[in-house]
Amino acid sequence: METDLAQHHYRGTSIGLSLIETLDDLIRDQRITPQLSYKVLAAFDKEIVRTLKRRIQKRMTFKAQCRTYGFYDDKWKFELKDVKYRLDSGKPMESARLSISAISSGADQGKQRKAKKKQKEPTD
């Protein structure tokens, strides 16, 4: 199951912000209730994560110097410099600086539980 943080992250994207703005307009015009708006946002949160997992297959490789990094509240943040990267097998690109934010999806939690369970099982 995805963490709430990972799901709510996509509300800050252009499509998420547009949805929120539209829902606010509909509430203001009394065409929908706030409760329905919450249900729509919850459905958006769930569906955007599911769709991105299913449809996005691109890979990126990169080489850079890591200026700073940090992990807080299930979020990784990396500040890179002198970045050389390539999307799939495309043309190499360069950037002086790049910031990467990554949010734990919770997908690895199942693997961790299985590994712990396996360690606890008695050997015959």
What are the distances in angstroms from CA 34 to CA 9, 20, 25, 41? Answer: 21, 11, 11, 11
Residue 23: CB atoms within 10 A of its CB come to 19
At 29, list the tokens. 């015009």
Question: Which CATH number belongs to the domain containing residue 29 in this structure?
Answer: 1.10.287.190
Cβ(92)–Cβ(85) below 8 Å: yes
The verdict on 38 and 80 lying in the same domain is no
Question: Which CATH number belongs to the domain containing residue 91 in this structure?
Answer: 2.30.18.10
How many structural domains compose the chain?
A: 2
Total-model pTM = 0.55
Q: Could you tell me which residues come within 8 angstroms of residue 10 by beta carbon, excluding any fewer than 6 positions away?
A: 16, 44, 45, 48, 49
In this structure, is residue 64 part of a structural domain? yes
Q: One digit per residue, pLDDT tens: the chain, 124 residues?
A: 445 656 677 888 899 999 999 999 999 999 999 999 999 999 999 998 888 888 877 788 889 999 999 998 888 899 999 999 888 878 899 999 999 888 776 655 555 555 566 666 655 5
